[in-house]
Amino acid sequence: MAFPTKNAFSERKWSLAHSKSLMLGPAGALMGILNVTPDSFSDGGQLVLPQDVVARARGMVQDGAAILDIGGESTRPGADPVDAETEQARVLPAITAVCEALPDAILSVDTYRAVTARKAIEAGAHIVNDVWGLQREPDVARVAVETGAGLCIMHTGRERQKLSDVIGDQLAFFETSLAIADKAGVAKDQIVLDPGFGFAKDAEENFLLMARFEALHALGYPILVGTSRKRFIGNATGRDAADRDVGTAATTALLRVAGAAVFRVHDVAINHDALAIADAMIAARQGV
């Protein structure tokens, strides 16, 4: 894994809804996962009531989460789809409850639906995390423009023919997604990219993506990664989903050294420590 240029760690502002922003670059930022779903692959059904979500959110902030990502539809392979009304019935009360309990928290809504994104931002969310990279519902980009929301554009290999080269496929996918964002008028400082670890990628592809991660910096945007408890970690460690947090922390440290800026995780505390070590090494290396 090549060590990226200092530019990958330079300070860059991520502009968010409700006049908020987050500075990325010099230190890694953690995004805690709050799944208000019955069927997510490692934590489904754990957060049912708003008070449960608030308690988990409070703990994540105390452990060092800069962002809380609330999702109402499982994205695991084979999950049953839900309609917009069901998704909103799950995420909107959770967002409202967390906003009331933790008014300084930065909230992300994990959705690809424009209508859910808009309602979530109206309820207090600051970021839209789109796992279809604007290519399922391009109007998500328009919502970002009209609300000023931060926008995470994720790569996926689902329901499309992938290119054989893992980086070539990333670049081609993001070319399409960024064209959608540009046409809608999304500002560059609203955008973060996510290479979509685990989304229609086998273990070899995921590890190749890690090994060649520095190539993604050519796109010129901060990069968010979501490796937490993914199957490829289990392929390497032999552990079930609920026991993959140590493996996740290893990927967090490696990808931070490779220049990733934001890390979407289930266990904030262990990944906080992994980032602390990686950031200390980065600082030492930059001082050489």
Active-site positions? 230, 264
Question: Rounded to an integer, what distance in angstroms lies between the CA atom of residue 224 and that of residue 152?
Answer: 8
CA angle 133/71/228 to nearest 5° reads: 80
Across the chain, how many H-helices and E-strands are there?
9, 10
In the sheet with 106-110, reading across from the earlier edge strand, the strands are 191-194, 150-154, 127-130, 106-110, 67-71, 29-35, 262-265, 224-225
Question: Rounded to an integer, what distance in angstroms lies between the CA atom of residue 49 and that of residue 47?
Answer: 6
Residue 149: which of 104, 118, 178 has the closest Cα?
118
Write the DSSP symbol of residue 175: H
Residue 159 backbone class (left: φ over 0; alpha: ψ -120 to 50; beta: rest): left
CA 237 to chain centre: 23
Are 34 and 56 a contacting pair, CB within 8 Å? yes
